[in-house]
Amino acid sequence: MPLGQRAGDKSESRYCGMEVLDFPAGEELPAVLSQSLSSAFDFLLAPLVDPGYRPAPGAVLPVAASDLVLSPSQWSSHIVGKISEWIDLDSEDEQLRLDSEVTLKQEIAWASHLSLQACVLPPPKRSSCANYARVVNHILQGLTNMQLWLRIPLEKSEPMDEEHDEAKNNSNMTLGYGGIHFDYYVGCSLIRSTLPSMNSLGRWFGEPVRAAILQTNAFLTNSRGYPCLSKRHQMLLTGFFNHSVQVIISGRSNHNISQVGLLSGDENHTEDTSVRHALGPYLEYIAYIYQRMDPLPEQERFEINYRDFLQSPLQPLMDNLEAQTYETFEKDTVKYSQYQRAIAKALVDRVSDDEVSTIKTVLMVVGAGRGPLVRASLQAAEETGRKLKVYAVEKNPNAVITLHSLIKLEGWESLVTIISSDMRCWDAPEKADILVSELLGSFGDNELSPECLDGAQRFLKPDGISIPSSYTSFIEPITASKLHNDIKAHKDIAHFETAYVVKLHRVARLAPTQKVFTFDHPNTSSNPSNQRYTKLQFEIPEDTGSCLVHGFAGYFDAVLYKDVHLGIEPNTATPNMFSWFPIFFPLRKPIHVPSKSPIEVHFWRCCGSTKVWYEWAVTAPSPSPIHNSNGRSYWVGL
């Protein structure tokens, strides 16, 4: 039974399981499952094989139960297999190591026979675990439908901080030995000892965490004697819920409660019923945490299917946009509201109140599309009482057809002149007072706004106004295991040298954003080149610990006019705007960043006669190749 209803959330985080601690031999497993399901748990994490088993010639695997004691749907829907915890694949004892390898393969084979959806592997016994990686990779090559979850302790123990930190990072790298692509997840165990810092915990959101195994000794006791969690545990749990992570309750009850309380709106409010399950109070508290989360905002619901989905950026000069793309962008009312505000301010600055009856402002919309900026401009003129003459310049002949229909429908024939031409080639009959465009990409300049506006600048008056007047790109290093594995699946370098537009979700942001490139319009620089180079150094917060960098997330912030801006840079992002997702610059090989080590990255914006492209490389703490040299894999065509 789901933990509750949360508007917009259809993820598997709604389901909670429990770990079976004792070996359920024979008919015990169906009884345990039946009791757990009737007590609102959704699945069991259960041992598959007697923990006392060691392989021997002719020995039959002592499984917990025959495959006949549960139906195939029960096995696949309600049981997650727990691999024997004694297994030590990197033991110095050769016999133990060999027995571990044989047993692991036998248990995985049995789990696959049962059609289980997942098995939980025991945590590595030491930070160096190459043989563990080798054996698991062998197994993964033969699996098709079953996932492997690796149990990793998540705790803070002062004398062992570095060891735990190293183990956590080795878990990222261990299963990647040999360069084999696979689909694995991490199950992390929360225990009672003090949690690491929030920066350190934040790294987990960039990892493929599938389940949070929450031990009962992590719970505190409230004033009524019921289990509850510390504020930091609650924050972490909420973060996991937001990242589609399921909870598995593990351990024995530490709270002597004769009556189970049903929580309703207040963690101290209970209604008494008879006891049904020893872990019932813990489940109810987890349900309470889930149910009190805010519903997903409307924008998040709209974007949920795009989460962590890699998309190639638009090629607006090479390709003509389709009607569906135009329609999606035109629904972003926040963006056009900001444009209208900027245009209104520019009109007021351009024409004083005393001149409104005598002066007509010439405004050119370059890249008019199907007309949303034309509409915003005319609405700004009506709002401010200014006279306006509009030129709508658009190169897409299909969009021009729609423009003509719009102008006729709205009765704007005397106000708007439609020009079917590339703005870089058009010879304007007069100079413009205001030049308006929406040529910005996720990285600001990545859809060639600088090149387009530099080409159109010749028909802007010397004292004319450009909207936008400037824009700046930003980047930050991120951990993004899912994105890395999705790119790796293509098995070529070119995909690692391509920038992607992506709704970032399962990522860990490791350091504050920094500025990359800035472009101003009109461009009055003595050096008109749009080539750029910058070197940036990111300091990872000290309490984060070591981490993996899979690439860099890119954003932009644009000044439309004076104090009117729009953008997606996280610190200043325009609320409720969905026209742009961030851009992602991947690294061919993840960079391991030790604690207290800075990240040094270089970015180039290169311009050729027919294309513009980016190159990027990391030089510290370890060097990476220069990605996309000479635009060999990814470019934007002029």
What CATH number corresponds to the domain at position 555? 2.70.160.11
Judge if 291 and 385 occupy the same domain.
Answer: no
Give yes or no for a contact between 282 and 190, defined as CB atoms under 8 angstroms apart: no
Clarify whether residues 251 and 103 are in a common domain.
yes
- 173 and 258 belong to one structural domain: yes
Q: Please check if 423 is assigned to a binding site.
A: yes
- Enumerate the active-site residues: 438, 447
Our CA angle for 451, 457, 458, nearest 5°, is: 120
458 lies in a domain?
A: no
pLDDT band with cut points at 50, 70 and 90 for residue 185: low
336 is in an annotated binding site: yes
Whether 529 is covered by a domain: the verdict is yes
Give the mean model confidence (pLDDT) for residues 86-94. 95
* Residue for token pair 């220069």: 626
| pLDDT tens for each residue of 600-627 | 999 999 999 999 999 999 999 999 999 9
On whether the CB atoms of residues 537 and 603 are closer than 8 A, the answer is: no
Separation of alpha carbons 624 and 591, rounded Å: 8
- Rounded mean pLDDT of 321-333? 92
- Shared-domain flag, residues 548 and 501: yes
634 is in an annotated binding site: no
Q: What is the pLDDT of residue 367?
A: 95
Q: Read off the pLDDT of residues 111-142 as tens digits, 9 standing for 90 and up.
A: 999 999 999 999 988 878 899 999 998 998 88
d(CA 424, CA 436): 14
pLDDT for residue 1: 65
Which residue, among 151, 148, 156, has the nearest Cα to 180 in the 3D structure?
148
In a domain, 307, yes or no: no
pLDDT for res 183: 44
Percent of the chain with pLDDT over 70: 91
In a domain? residue 449:
no
pLDDT value, residue 319: 86
Residue 194, pLDDT above cutoff 90: no
Q: What's the pLDDT at 167?
A: 39
Do 430 and 532 fall within a single domain?
no
| 185 and 39 both lie in a single domain | yes
Tell whether 584 and 628 lie within a shared domain.
Answer: yes
Q: What predicted TM-score, i.e. pTM, was given to this entire model?
A: 0.89
Determine, yes or no, domain membership for 522.
yes
Instruction: Please indicate, yes or no, if residue 367 is contained in any of the structural domains.
Output: yes
- More confident of the two residues 296 and 398: 398
Predicted confidence band at 342 (pLDDT cuts at 50, 70, 90)?
very high
Same domain, 427 and 482: no
Domain that holds residue 419: 323-438
Please report, for residues 9, 329, 333, 446, 587, the alpha-carbon distance to residue 615 in angstroms, rounded to integers and kept in the order given: 38, 28, 34, 12, 11
Asked whether residue 309 is domain-assigned, the answer is: no
Q: How far apart, in Å, are the Cα atoms of 483 and each of 240, 320, 478, 504, 588?
A: 18, 28, 11, 9, 12
What average pLDDT does the chain have?
Answer: 89
Q: Do 356 and 393 lie in a common domain?
A: yes
Claim to verify: residue 351 and residue 491 sit in the same structural domain: no
Cα–Cα nearest to 167, from 184, 183, 155: 155
The reply to whether 391 sits in an annotated binding site is: no
**What confidence tier does 638 reach under pLDDT thresholds 50, 70, 90?**
confident
Q: Is residue 451 part of a domain?
A: no
Of residues 108 and 145, more confidence is placed in 108
CATH of the domain at 346: 3.40.50.150
Within this chain, do residues 397 and 504 fall inside the same structural domain, yes or no?
Answer: no
CA distance 410 to 404: 10
Q: Is 308 annotated as a binding residue?
A: no
Is the bond preceding residue 196 a cis peptide, omega within 30 degrees?
no
Mean pLDDT along residues 523-552: 93
Q: Which range, of 122-126, 271-275, 330-334, 475-479, averages the lowest pLDDT?
A: 271-275
Number of separate domains in the chain: 3
- Say if residue 153's pLDDT is above 50: yes
Q: Helix (H, G, I), strand (E, B), or coil: what is residue 596?
A: coil
Q: At 519, list the tokens.
A: 């472009």
58 and 187 both lie in a single domain? yes
Report which residue type is found at 55: P
How many Å is the Cα radius of gyration of the chain?
30
Region 147-162: what's the mean pLDDT?
Answer: 67
